[in-house]
Amino acid sequence: MQGGANLRGLREQLGLTMRDVETATAKIAERHQSEEFFVPIGRLSDIETKGVVPSIHRLYALAVVYRRDMRDLLALFGVDIAGAAGDMDSCTPTKSHFSTALSGASSVQMPTRIDPGFDPARTSNIGRMIEQWGVVPISYLAQYARLSYTYGYIGMEDLTMYPLLPPGTFVQVDETKNKIIAGGWRSEYERPIYFVETRDTHVCCWCTMLGEDIILQPHPLSPVAMRILKYPQQAEVLGQVVGVALRLGDWRPVYDTSTEPRVPEALN
């Protein structure tokens, strides 16, 4: 009953009579060559006052006439598409599969156009490479709209934090954590990693302050040399890495296949 009453409220907000709805849905039915889309006055009255649930075809027609997203009308009758994620554990298929079950989740903003000058071989500040944001229906990406975060990409030729952060890794950087912490960690996994902008590039690394200098320290297994720069004239700490996204198994060092496996060329 409540769903029908709310549906009536949408109709009245637009100043439409039942006859208007009947006429409009008749045109929709004719366009689609299916009477399933047609909502006669009697059926509309039953929907609004007697708790009758409209069919999916009639619900679509009403959504068009009332200028609303169909998901809004489904919600009026107790079907919340956003709740699909929480209901998916009701069934556990045994075979691997693709799923589009969450494609109707709430829309969020995410990058839709990247600067064409983006070079995948160089470590870059993704936040500065975004030319346009757009609305995309993927609710779990809503975090990317937070202004305190920027996003970095580890270039395919950047081995500074290899193998902890291999080339091709995306990092989430908290810009509010741009002060270097001295000590207090128990392992390399706890040591803060910073995203630093120098005069000629970006680099993801461990950092140590030494007077007016900043030491950009690579991973011990990396072939990249340590750098000492003036702070902040030559190096600016953009923030601390707080999230990592990487594809496992995609990046491979180049080996000389004519001999036994040796140190990768990329590491020489």
Q: pLDDT tens digit string along 44-98?
A: 999 999 989 999 999 999 999 999 988 889 989 988 876 776 676 676 555 534 4
On whether the pTM is more than 0.75, the answer is: no
Residue 176 predicted with pLDDT over 60: yes
Question: What is the rounded distance in angstroms from the CA atom of residue 150 to the CA atom of residue 172?
Answer: 6
Question: What is the rounded distance in angstroms from the CA atom of residue 198 to the CA atom of residue 210?
Answer: 17
Q: What is the pLDDT of residue 149?
A: 81
Interior/surface letters 195-211, b for 16+ CB within 10 angstroms, e for the rest: bbbeeeebbbbbbeeee
Domains along the sequence of the chain with CATH: 2-79 (1.10.260.40), 120-125+146-245 (2.10.109.10)
Tell me if the bond preceding 166 is cis, omega within 30° of 0. no
Tell me if the bond preceding 54 is cis, omega within 30° of 0. no
Q: What is the pLDDT of residue 216?
A: 97
State percent of the chain over pLDDT 90: 48
Q: pLDDT digits over 210-236, tens only? A: 999 999 999 999 999 999 999 999 999
Other beta carbons within 10 Å of 253 = 13
